[in-house]
Amino acid sequence: MENRKKKLTDYYKPYRRLFLADMFFATLGAAVTLALPLLVRYITGTVVGFPTREATGMIFKLGALMVALVALECYCNYFIGNYGHVMGAKIEHDMRNEIFGHYQKLSFAFYDDQKVGHLLSRITSDLFDITELLHHGPEDIVISLIKLVGAFIILTAINWKLSLTAMAIVVLMLLFAVSYNGKMRSAFRDNRARIADINSQIEDSLSGIRVVKSFGNEKMEMDKFNTGNDRFVDSKKRTYKFMGTYNSCMGAFATLITVVSLIVGAYLMLLGELSSADLVTFLLYISNFTEPVKKLVNFTEQFQNGYSGYERFREVLAIAPDIADRPGAVSLEKAKGEITFDHVSFRYGDNTENVLQNVDLEVKQGEYVALVGSSGAGKTTLCSLIPRFYDVTEGSVKLDGRDIRDIRLNDLRRQIGIVQQDVYLFAGNVMDNIRYGKPDATDEEVVAAAKAANAHEFIKNLPDGYLTDIGQRGVKLSGGQKQRLSIARVFLKNPPVLIFDEATSALDNESEKIVQHSLEKLAKNRTTFVIAHRLSTIRNAQRILVLTEDGIAEEGTHKELLEKGGVYANLYEMQF
């Protein structure tokens, strides 16, 4: 909760010394800028009146001082341009870690409603704009205020009438800038949403590029992309309309200050209230009026851009993980593997209809249970409740007699191995993908797991063996090979509870036999749940549960259920 209340300024805390140094050099650089016109005034208004020899020496001394001040200003700009950006990069690193860590905590229910492109945009373009604001924002405000206030004080001391004339236009500039804030903010938020849509479209299209090409639908994908891209351009057009008005009016105000100051200054010279040296000094200070205002203009644009990104960043962090450890949750080193469903009902999100209704089920340690039923009967949902991918709506799921919500989530999931139909392999080599099941495993343990999964032989024949790169999502491997790598992962993990989610349904007959043999070796002496699409793979199951929309309709062995002539017998007849 404390983390969700974190303010934008809190991200400076780990780097406060760097931040203070950045502010110091920003202040020093601004002070140097203010000092230089005063030296010019002193030379043109006073030193030129000295005797020639004395004036010459003074001019060279003051010239050397001015060169030294320019060098100092150069270093100040270098510091804030270099170390200031480093501070911004470090803050971006911290924020990226924070949001990615939060992504890891969120449950399947969150990802069911999200697009990857939108989530990606929050940790790329959004964060860049936020950290640009955090770096440039404070220094721009400090530099602008020092120059603006300092110039006003100095110019008031020189001639208060001319100073007030210039300041009146500056006030109009600032009022104009403030009036545009709301419009700019709305436009930038819309831009963020549109670019997130484009990212999502790109991610979706490139991830499914094989499907796109197999159907010859490249043009359709291009049309979908163009629609999103056109919406982005429309959004940008609105933004640039505001920015065009904004920047052109601000530029006009800046020029107007110079013109009005020159006219009023010339008039005051005629009245004898202003010297030529003072007018030159005044015109030199005009940039110290207009430049800060332009910086503040840039800051408002930057603020709208960065803060709209920050709001989107906070929106994600404000989503509390709905699957989390209960207070007092206990550790579990090694479970026996007894699973109990006690009056379990479940529905997804705000859906009014339950997917599972009042399910009671006891599975003993080491028992092999198959789940069958028509699509949508809740087989995968039932198994997803065991590792707490979702939490039950009513009732409880127990592991070794303890409610799984009272077991630490990491410990619970360490007890469960899952082999799915849709295998996900990470970009990288074979060794790393198997080692994912146990990150601290030795090479020997990885090879032993591969042998147990009947994968060692085909791995040896790959170009670089276990170090062969398998491409994004394992595209360089066949379906059966990918499945055996996923089984090797689970062998390495060595959990007491297994879930096979239609693990062979996408394979050809030959691959299915090899993988089925691997699965049977893996299931030995472990509590196993098999979600079966092909009934031929579960004939030898100790228990077969037939799920319908009303819950568990039938239970028994393959032979018993056929003899009963009910739902299972009908399913079997349809397949064979």
Report CA-CA distances (Å) from 242 to 130, 186, 192. 21, 11, 16
Residue 214 above 70 pLDDT?
A: no
**Beta strands 368-372; 543-548: pairing state:** parallel
Q: Are 202 and 225 in contact (CB under 8 A)?
A: yes
What is the CA angle 335-339-345, rounded to 5? 135
**Residue 415, exposed/middle/buried by CB under 10 A (0-12, 13-18, 19+)?**
buried
Residues in Cβ contact with 128 at an 8 Å cutoff, skipping those fewer than 6 apart? 92
Average of per-residue pLDDT values in the chain:
84
Task: Report the share of the chain in percent with pLDDT over 90.
Answer: 16
Four-point Cα dihedral 355, 357, 363, 367, nearest 10: -40
The whole-angstrom separation of Cα 107 and Cα 172 is 51
- What one-letter code names the amino acid at 488? A
Q: Which residue has the higher pLDDT, 136 or 340?
A: 340
**Residue 129, exposed/middle/buried by CB under 10 A (0-12, 13-18, 19+)?**
buried
**Residue 510, exposed/middle/buried by CB under 10 A (0-12, 13-18, 19+)?**
exposed
E strand or H helix that includes residue 44: helix 16-45
The pLDDT tens digits of the residues spanning 145-186 come to 898 888 888 888 888 888 888 888 888 887 887 777 667 767
Q: Find the helix packing angle between 181-207 and 276-317, rounded to 10°.
A: 50
CA gyration radius for the chain? 35
The pLDDT tens digits of the residues spanning 251-304 come to 788 788 888 888 998 899 888 888 888 888 888 887 777 778 777 777 877 887
Question: What pTM does this model have?
Answer: 0.69
Report CA-CA distances (Å) from 382 to 14, 166, 405. 45, 74, 16
Q: Are 323 and 107 in contact (CB under 8 A)?
A: yes
The pLDDT tens digits of the residues spanning 453-472 come to 888 888 999 888 999 888 77
Q: Please, what's the b/e burial string for 382-400 (b: 16 or more CB within 10 A of its CB; e: otherwise)? A: bbbbbbbbbbbbebbbbbb
Positive or negative, the CA dihedral 449, 451, 452, 455 is positive
Q: Which residue has the higher pLDDT, 345 or 515?
A: 345
Residue ranges of domains in the chain, CATH in brackets:
87-317 (1.20.1560.10), 422-494 (3.40.50.300)
Q: For residues 128-145, give the mean pLDDT.
A: 86
What is the CA angle 118-120-126, rounded to 5? 85
Q: Which residue has the higher pLDDT, 375 or 3?
A: 375
- Report DSSP state, residue 330: B
For residue 443, the Cα-to-chain-centroid distance in whole angstroms is 33
Place of tokens 């999964």: 453
Band of pLDDT at residue 1, cut at 50, 70 and 90: very low
